Structure 1
Amino acid sequence: MSTPVDVAIVNDYEVVVHGVAAMLEPYADRVRVAELDMGRPPVTPVDVTLYDTFAQAQVDGSPVELLVNIPGAGRVVVYSWNIQAPLVALAIEKGCSGYLPKSARAAELVEAIERIAAGEVVVPGHSLFGLPPSVAEPEPEPDTPWPGKEHGLSARESEVISLITQGLSNEEIATRSYLTINTVKSYIRTAYRKIGVTRRAQAVRWGVEHGMLPTRQREIDPHHLG
């Protein structure tokens, strides 16, 4: 049997990295999660580092540049809803080895990680993922947890509330998330209704009380160290 691909998962939110790890767990014979990093760069040598963009800077920000320059990070892969061609091209230009859509099913994600570890570049539009959704279709939800999911927030609503909790303006959220300002406002309205607030200060307080602030910690699989 071939050796599993060692993976580090990077995002500032504990529920996000644990959610991706849980998604990969049934495939532990093929992909082994060696490290979970929240607000910290990976330190364990791995084959692939998966950078989840939930409430994070996209590939035009510094985290990706940091990751691709860490010797032990292996091949860096962006995992995102935002699959616009310019972002994908920029990620590859900056040294990433793949760019995976959050609409991918677990089996597709695992195969993509294996292919990337073997030297292939996998991006949206690859035959692994089938035909892209129509523009008219709603954005598919990832099959992983996110902050606020248990309170009825969609993944995008949660991301917007997380960024509000961090103090970002609507314009900054639009830039960070690659959404239009009107789309951001729409997510804010629907999220406010779901969490029972009417003002931004109330939303910030709700976010602080419900895990919408980033964390800084690292979890390393002890079996990997052995």
Structure 2
Amino acid sequence: MPPTNRPITVALVDDYDVVLVGVAHMLSPYRDRIVIAEIDTNEAVADVVDIALYDSFAQPESDRGEISVLVDNPRARRVVIYTWNFHPDLIDTALHKGAHGYLSKTLPARDLVTALEAVHAGETVVSEAPRTRSAPGLDWPGRGEGLTDREAEILALITQGKSNADVAALTFLSPNTVKSYIRAIYRKIDVASRTQAVLWGVNHGFTPDHDRIQHWRS
């Protein structure tokens, strides 16, 4: 059984610092139960962590290799996906690849901590499909400009050079839904074209800060 007399060590995995800082801030009141072992990856994690928490913001959710990289690395005892996207295929694939949890970004901090503790104790935990918005305390690029987390994720993918078809495939959204999000994004950031949206994204923190998954490749 995992030791219960010390906090769980968690490595946060996502390419956007603002996203990870938001998660770390949300978990900070629970420092007696959760210790964040990694945010800045100028150096790779050298020690084993109890859980690698893979935040899905603007990450290649439909690229099964990303999950395998974390699962196969001996420095992560367990791997948990942290996401708003609960498409059944994504859940099934993550669990088949060896993920130990699939948790919703709508979970309040206390429930997220409880779920991580359950995973640490050996359970496989899958949240209910989300019906509400992201939990208070989380952050993402463009939040201050009024973009929702899902709009921000789509703009981040566009800023990375993804086409509408790419975005639909990566997020498991329909092409029409992606188009609807893009129209809402354009209105909120006051642009009229994709080129203007990409330039706005580059100037407002929508390009990745790191390629964190590289630190987990064998």
TM-score, normalised relative to structure 2: 0.89
- The answer to whether the aligner puts 1:151 opposite 2:152 as a matched pair is no
Which position in structure 1 is the counterpart of 2:47? 44
Which position in structure 2 is the counterpart of 1:215? 209
- The answer to whether the aligner puts 1:9 opposite 2:12 as a matched pair is yes
The equivalent position to 2:82 in structure 1, one of 79, 84, 88, is 79
Q: What is the letter of the counterpart of residue 89 of structure 1?
A: D
CA gap of 1:39–1:216, structure 2 versus 1, over 3 A, is farther
In structure 1, C-alpha distance between the alignment counterparts of 2:59 and 2:162, rounded to whole Å: 12
In structure 2, C-alpha distance between the alignment counterparts of 1:40 and 1:79, rounded to whole Å: 23
Map 1:52-201 onto structure 2 (within 5 A).
Answer: 52-58=55-61, 60-125=63-128, 132=129, 139-143=132-136, 144-201=138-195
Query: What do the CA deviations read for 1:180-205 (whole angstroms, capped 9, x no partner)?
Result: 11111111111111111010000010
Look up the SS of the partner of 1:146 in the other structure: coil
Contact 1:12/1:38 (8 A) holds in 2: no
Look up the SS of the partner of 1:47 in the other structure: strand
In structure 2, C-alpha distance between the alignment counterparts of 1:160 and 1:81, rounded to whole Å: 13
Look up the SS of the partner of 2:80 in the other structure: strand
CA gap of 1:55–1:43, structure 2 versus 1, over 3 A, is farther
CA drift at 1:103: 1.1
**Displaced runs of 4+ in structure 1, greater than 3 A?**
37-44
Query: What do the CA deviations read for 1:135-185 (whole angstroms, capped 9, x no partner)?
Result: xx6x52233000100111010110111011000000100111111111111
CA drift at 1:86: 2.3
Q: What is the letter of the counterpart of residue 200 of structure 2?
A: W
Contact 2:80/2:103 (8 A) holds in 1: yes
* Root-mean-square deviation over aligned CA pairs: 2.0
Which position in structure 2 is the counterpart of 1:21? 24
Which position in structure 1 is the counterpart of 2:216? none
Query: What do the CA deviations read for 1:30-70 (whole angstroms, capped 9, x no partner)?
Result: 01101125699744310001000101111543211111111
Contact 1:6/1:34 (8 A) holds in 2: yes
Contact 1:13/1:38 (8 A) holds in 2: no
TM-score, normalised relative to structure 1: 0.86
User: What are the ranges of 5 or more consecutive residues in structure 2 without an aligned counterpart?
Assistant: 213-218
User: What are the ranges of 5 or more consecutive residues in structure 1 without an aligned counterpart?
Assistant: 126-131, 219-226
Query: What do the CA deviations read for 1:55-98 (whole angstroms, capped 9, x no partner)?
Result: 11115432111111110111000001111222212111101111
Contact 2:62/2:169 (8 A) holds in 1: no
In structure 1, C-alpha distance between the alignment counterparts of 2:43 and 2:92, rounded to whole Å: 25
Contact 2:107/2:134 (8 A) holds in 1: no
